[in-house]
Structure formats: C-alpha cells, structure tokens
Amino acid sequence: MDIKNKGLLKMILTGIVILAVGIIVINHTGSFLKIVMIAAGIGAFVDGLYTLNGMKKWKYTETTKNLAMIKGIESMAIGVAAVLIAIFAADAALTVMVYIFAIGLVFSAVVAFQNAATAKKFEIADMRTHFLVEGVITSLIAVLLFFKPVDTLVKVVQILAIVFIVAGGIMIVVAAIAMFKKPETVEVVVEAEPVDDKKKD
C-alpha cells in the first residue's frame, strides 16, 4: 500500500471513529450532559485562572481590577462546583448548577462590558472590541440557560453529535472515493525529430 492509500485509510478510520462517537452521543444524550458539565467546569476554572493571571499584565482602573478579581475567583469556584456536582450529585442537581452557571455568565458579561468601557485606558486600546463581543456572547448564552437550562444543554449536545456524524460521514465518503478512484492515464505525445537525409548519406 502506497503512502497516499495509507493516508486515505487513516482518514476513513478516523471518520468511522468520529461517526461512531456522534451516533453514541445522540443515542445517549442524557449521559453526556454530565460530560458537558465537567468540560464546562474545567473551562470555567481555567478562565478564572487566566483572568487572575492576566491582572498582572494589564493596567486596570481600581473598579476593573476588583471586578476582574471577583470574576476570576467566582469562575474557579463555579468550575470546581460543576465538576463535583457532575460526578457525585444526582441528575436533578444539574439544573441547579446550570442556573449557577448562568448567574456566573451574567457577572462575566458585566465585567466584559465594564472592561470595554475603560479599554481606552489600557495599553492596547483595540481590546475594546474583544470585550464587547465577549460581553454580548456571554449575555446571550446566559439568557438561553435561564429560560431553558437543561433543554439548552441537550440541544448543544445533540448539535455536537450531529456535527460529528456529518463530519465523520464526509471524511469516510471523500476518502473512499479518492482511494477507489482510478488514476487518470496521461497520454504523452512525443514528436519525432525529422531525419536529416544529408547526415544519413
């Protein structure tokens, strides 16, 4: 098997794994909610660490500094709580944890908007756009979680599963077509050089 076919075979196997994961997730959505909660908890904890560490690198106003410190500590606390609840608590506790997440996101949005308002005083003024986008996205996610906490998480898991299924299927089909496609034959036309009669004599 040549290098090209080996690469295509790896692509097919990867596609099969991704497709299988998508099918498993979409058929066991409830079980994967805890995995999503754990992942979100780890993300919140890392975000809190990043925020606290970032305070050393930026010039903050006193208000911004205090808000950033609270956000960092709050994110880390929510992250730890989310992981512990997902692992040890009953399924009903997930709803409570989602509401806590939503509250944390609201506070994060407030901090982001406050950062945007004072961004001109930072050393990098173009961070204003970054903070505004962060605040808007965080607010939208918080609203969704407040209105339909568990339903929103279920939809997120289902969408991820569909993406996995589609991506895996496309990888398999594309690789299979490329592997079994016959190489095109290229006709090479060689022009004959004219024979010099004088040299022949």
Cα 18 to chain centroid distance, Å, stands at 15
Q: For residue 187, is it within any domain?
A: no
Residue 124 backbone phi and psi in degrees, to 5: -115, 100
State the residue for tokens 């299927």.
Answer: 169
Neighbours of 7 (CB within 10 A): 13
Domain carrying residue 134: 12-179
- pLDDT of amino acid 166: 93
Q: For residue 78, is it within any domain?
A: yes
Give the Cα separation of 115 and 125 in Å (integer).
11
Q: For residue 193, is it within any domain?
A: no
Indicate yes or no: pTM above 0.85.
Answer: no
Residue 20 structure tokens = 């299988």
Separation in Å, CA 110 to CA 52, 101, 165: 17, 14, 37
Q: For residue 52, is it within any domain?
A: yes
When divided into structural domains, the chain yields a total of 1
Q: For residue 188, is it within any domain?
A: no
**Alpha helix ranges (H) inside 89-148:** 92-117, 127-147
Give the Cα separation of 126 and 32 in Å (integer).
38
- pLDDT of amino acid 187: 53
Give the Cα separation of 11 and 21 in Å (integer).
15
pLDDT string in tens for the chain (201-residue length): 566 677 778 888 888 998 888 888 888 776 777 777 788 888 888 888 887 777 666 666 677 777 778 888 888 888 888 888 877 766 667 777 778 888 888 888 888 887 777 766 655 556 677 778 888 888 887 887 777 766 777 777 788 889 989 998 998 898 888 877 765 554 555 555 555 555 555
Q: For residue 2, is it within any domain?
A: no
Q: For residue 197, is it within any domain?
A: no
- pLDDT of amino acid 37: 78
Task: Dump pLDDT digits (tens) for 54-70.
Answer: 766 666 667 777 777 88
Q: For residue 30, is it within any domain?
A: yes
**Which amino acid, residue 139?**
S
